[in-house]
Amino acid sequence: MTLDYYNLEPLLMYIHTSLCGVMPEWLALTLEGVVVGVIILLLYVILAIVMIYMERKVCAAFQCRIGPNRVGGKGGLLQVPADVLKMLTKEIIKLKNADNFLYNLAPFLVILASVLTFSCLPWNKGGEILHMNIGIFFILAVSSIGILGILLAGWSSNSKYSLIGAMRSGAMIISYELSIGICVLTMVVMSGTMDIQMIVSNQANGWNIFKGHIPAIAAFIIYLIAGNAEANRGPFDLAEAEQELTAGYHTEYSGLHFGFFYLAEYLNLFITAGIATTLFLGGWMPLHIAGLEGFNAVMDYIPGVVWFLGKTFFIVFLLMWIRWTFPRLRIDQVLTLEWKYLMPTSLVVLLLMTVCKIYGLTF
């Protein structure tokens, strides 16, 4: 079993108790909520900057280029912060014939869905911001809000490019959500709980991808493919096909509003990888090998947040690898892949996992 060297629960309980000792409980809870909210937003922005920089460097490596190498020295470390500052200073253009209320509401819905899902990721033991016994159900529910923002953005902009991009994105995301939901349900069946912390804790003696053998590996592969499509990433980026639709559903957006869509896209990639890490790769649990007690003891000394981020960025790299390797698919190919192959296969995988769980065939 993993030793609780870095368990955050005692520290957080001590802070809460200390605050309640000097102020009313409602005030302490309010102060804690404000601090946690600021932490979420800071993490959100920092990770988005890291992801954008990583995307540019990975893309450059696959295309035999150097990548950003001017602002911030040869490594171009300050290029992304410079781009963020430029975006924040850009004017938000008001469209003449748009539905202004829905046009302004759309990017906030997209960012709201992303932030709520991001808040459910288990960074460490006791480090999950939103913790509930139906955490997986909550993630699936709030992540579906984003498609509403995309559809509203396309329709309210009063632009044919935006509308076509939104329709493509809506058809694709709603379709691939089925495969994602079935793959997630497969791991819920294996774990026997929808509590995210319990799912991670149950992997202390082995990650689900190893314990669930063939059904878990198949669910993992299907989840990665469907998750890539859900995040509007290549080769599933039909909604933003530059050669056809300029920029898709956010063609008419500028300034901070466009920034919201841009941030959400990259954080959704991180969230997709984070959920895969949680369900299949043990979350913040270290790697343990049966019989190697010395090795396992050394692994326990590595903080859980390091394990979580390491696994998550490994999956992010895999998804970026896929994007910069395969050509863009046509919309009919995208939907055929889901309805004729991924969804039927995921249903078979769910059935196999259920049989394995009933007859004790998991490790």
Decide if 87 is inside a domain. Answer: no
Residue matched to tokens 């079993």: 1
Closest of 284, 273, 266, 5 to residue 128, by C-alpha: 284
User: What is the spatial distance between Cα 360 and Cα 363, in angstroms, rounded to a whole number?
Assistant: 8
Decide if 18 is inside a domain. Answer: no
Decide if 22 is inside a domain. Answer: no
More confident residue, 199 or 300: 199
CB neighbour class for 182 (10 Å; exposed up to 12, middle 13-18, buried from 19): buried
Q: Contact at 8 Å (CB) between 107 and 253?
A: yes
Decide if 328 is inside a domain. Answer: yes
Instruction: Say whether pLDDT at 64 is over 50.
Output: yes
Per residue in 70-124, pLDDT (tens digit) is: 888 778 888 888 988 888 888 888 888 888 899 889 999 999 999 999 989 998 8
Q: What is the pLDDT of residue 1?
A: 46
Decide if 352 is inside a domain. Answer: yes
341-358 in b/e form (b: 16+ CB < 10 A) is: ebbebbeebbebbeebbe
Decide if 46 is inside a domain. Answer: no
232-261 in b/e form (b: 16+ CB < 10 A) is: bbbbbbbbbbeeebebbbbbbbbeebbbbb
Q: What is the pLDDT of residue 344?
A: 95
pLDDT band of 2, cuts 50, 70, 90: very low
pLDDT band of 212, cuts 50, 70, 90: confident
Alpha helices in the chain (DSSP H): 9-22, 25-62, 79-89, 100-118, 135-143, 145-156, 160-191, 196-201, 208-211, 213-230, 242-245, 255-280, 293-300, 304-323, 331-336, 343-358
Arithmetic mean of pLDDT over the chain: 87
Decide if 100 is inside a domain. Answer: yes
Decide if 69 is inside a domain. Answer: no
pLDDT band of 232, cuts 50, 70, 90: confident
Per residue in 179-198, pLDDT (tens digit) is: 999 999 999 999 999 999 89
pLDDT band of 258, cuts 50, 70, 90: confident
Torsion of CA 63, 64, 69, 74, to 10 degrees: 150
Number of domains in the chain: 1
Residue matched to tokens 């992997």: 203
Domain boundaries, position 164: 93-358
Per residue in 127-176, pLDDT (tens digit) is: 788 888 888 999 999 988 988 888 998 888 888 888 888 888 888 888 99
Residues of the chain above pLDDT 70, percent: 96
Q: Give the predicted TM-score (pTM) of the model.
A: 0.91
